[in-house]
Amino acid sequence: MFLKHIAIIGGGIIGATAAFYLTRPTETDSVEVTLFDDGEGQATKAASGIISPWLSKRRNKRWYALAKRGAELIPELVHGAQLGSEVYEQTGTIVTRKSSEDLKALYTEAKEKAATTPAMGEVQLFSATQVGEKLPFLTTPPAGVFVSGGAKIDGAQFVNQLLDNAQAHHLKIVHGRAKFNSSGLITCDSQQVSFDRTIVATGAWMKATLAPLGLNLAVRPQKGQLIDISVHTKESWDTLPVMMPEGSSDIIPFAGGKLVIGATHEDDQQFDLTPTKTARDELLANAGAFISNLAKEQVVDMRVGTRAYTPDFGPFFGQLPTNPAISVGGGLGSSGLTTGPIIGYLLAKSVLGELDQDLSCYTKPVSDYLANL
């Protein structure tokens, strides 16, 4: 039986998902998978987020097709990897609009999409009172559209448990920063290794990862910060929905009275990972528009990560046109928890030779984001 040696560079949401699917038992060629990751600044491990792409204001059709497919895959992935409710929970989402006319239009859009999108579940138009009943910690609840198929996810737990699962199926993890030499071989800790196929998923750092290959990737970093707020409550909060207020920060309740608020979008901070008072105060004020009497003393944690953005804000993935043995996936922006898993899945299937569909409905060609140095 042929043994294929596969490398994954980057242990974020794309790399971890690819590792999970590459290490599944198979009746075809056996594989040996090595993942390289130094963990620095990883956006996924700093993130708690929402899986609910259907009512996004984004009008990029490729992005929507990808995000929609991602929202369908994640429950299957959670079940297959036996991830717990502390990682992922389908509690529904409440999406708001500032004007009543826009909210009615959103509800109409949601009903139309739900008719052909089973993953959305039930759609309801909620008054401010009904939103307050769903989220009792709100003191000034807005009206909104409730989508029962929406979910909340803990990025760090998601990645860690996927990698634990893959390690149980013989994934090898190397904790270090892997680099290419000009010949496309991987070096890490002064050791040079050759692989049959490589998946590169280094997020905002991918520009530097690909530079030794003579390629200039059009990707930029963006700093994102979020805060965890502790709220005294007698309720469990286990099944409370998340809220996505228009023009403000998402509010995500977790068990034990924890609220996650975020995240910021800071384009001028590059790879800086320092939590800032400015971000804390901004996020606290955004939450304070709906929850009165919040104090900075209730902020129990701040997390910082670095997202990757492309010029057109679209994710990209596929084989390098200059070296088909190397596949890449990135440019997730702020939708990484939704789009990352489906990209990891599709890349894994491609590497195994099991991909039987055209990817152009999900992404532009990788060449659109590359230039020779």
Q: Which pLDDT score, from 0 to 100, does residue 27 have?
A: 53
Q: Give dist(CA 88, CA 77) in Å, integer.
A: 10
In which band, very low, low, confident or very high, does the pLDDT at 26 lie, cut at 50, 70 and 90?
low
User: Among 98-112, 168-182, 331-345, which stretch is predicted with the lowest mean pLDDT?
Assistant: 168-182
Give strand pairing partners of 243.
94, 251
CB 139 within 8 A of CB 292: yes
Evaluate if residue 282 carries a pLDDT over 90.
yes
161 pLDDT band (50/70/90 cuts)?
very high
**If you average pLDDT over residues 157-175, what whole number do you get?**
93
Mean pLDDT, residues 173-197? 87
Whether the CB-CB separation of 158 and 43 falls below 8 Å is answered with no
pLDDT of residue 2: 56
What the block records as the tokens of 91 is: 């509690």
Cα atoms in the 13 Å half-sphere on the side-chain side of 144: 25
356: pLDDT confidence band, cut at 50, 70 and 90? Answer: confident
The predicted structure's pLDDT at residue 221: 95
- Which residues lie closer than 8 Å to 69 by C-beta, 6 or more apart? 342, 362
Query: In angstroms, rounded to a whole number, what is the distance separating the alpha carbons of residues 340 and 329?
Result: 8
Residue 370 has pLDDT above 60, yes or no: yes
Residue 267: is its pLDDT beyond 60? yes
Vertex 56, ends 53 and 62: CA angle to 5°?
70
Residues 6+ apart with CB under 8 A from 183: none
Q: State CA 330 to chain mean position distance.
A: 10
Structural domains in the chain, CATH included, are 3-44+156-219+312-372 (3.50.50.60), 93-149+221-309 (3.30.9.10)
* The pLDDT of residue 184: 83
SS (H, E, C) the chain: CCEEEEEEECCCHHHHHHHHHHCCCCCCCEEEEEEEECCCCECHHHCEEEECCCCCCCCCHHHHHHHHHHHHHHHHHHHHHCCCCCCEECCCEEECCCCHHHHHHHHHHHHHHHCCCHHHCCEEEECHHHHHHHCCCCCCCCCEEEECCCEEEEHHHHHHHHHHHHHHCCCEEEECCCEECCCCCEEECCEEECCCEEEECCHHHHHHHHHHHCEEECCEEEEEEEEEEECCCCCCCCCCCEEECCCCCEEEEECCCEEEEECCCECCCCCCCCCCHHHHHHHHHHHHCCCCCCCHHHEEEEEEEEEEECCCCCCEEEEECCEEEEEEEECCHHHHHHHHHHHHHHHHHHHCCCCCCCHHHCCCCHHHHEEEC
- pLDDT score of 29: 60
Q: Confidence band (pLDDT; 50, 70, 90) for 290?
A: very high
Q: Does the pLDDT at position 111 exceed 90? A: yes
Residue 28 has pLDDT above 60, yes or no: no
pLDDT of residue 332: 96
Mean pLDDT of 111-128: 97
- Please report the pLDDT score of residue 13 as a whole number: 95
114: alpha, beta or left? (left if phi > 0; alpha if psi -120 to 50): alpha
pLDDT exceeds cutoff 90 at 330: yes
Question: What distances in angstroms separate CA 121 from CA 117, 219, 248, one per listed residue?
Answer: 8, 35, 25
Furthest-apart CA atoms within the chain: distance in Å: 65
pLDDT given at position 23: 93
Q: What is the mean pLDDT of the chain?
A: 92
Confidence at 218, pLDDT banded by 50, 70, 90: very high
pLDDT tens profile 39-80? 775 666 677 789 999 999 988 999 999 999 999 999 999 999
158 vs 78: CA distance, rounded Å:
9
Q: How far apart are CA 80 and CA 65, in angstroms?
A: 23
pLDDT confidence of residue 194? 87
Can you read off the two tokens belonging to residue 45? 């491990």
Sorted by sequence, the CB contacts under 8 Å of residue 233 that are 6+ apart come out as 137, 257
- Model pLDDT, residue 171: 94
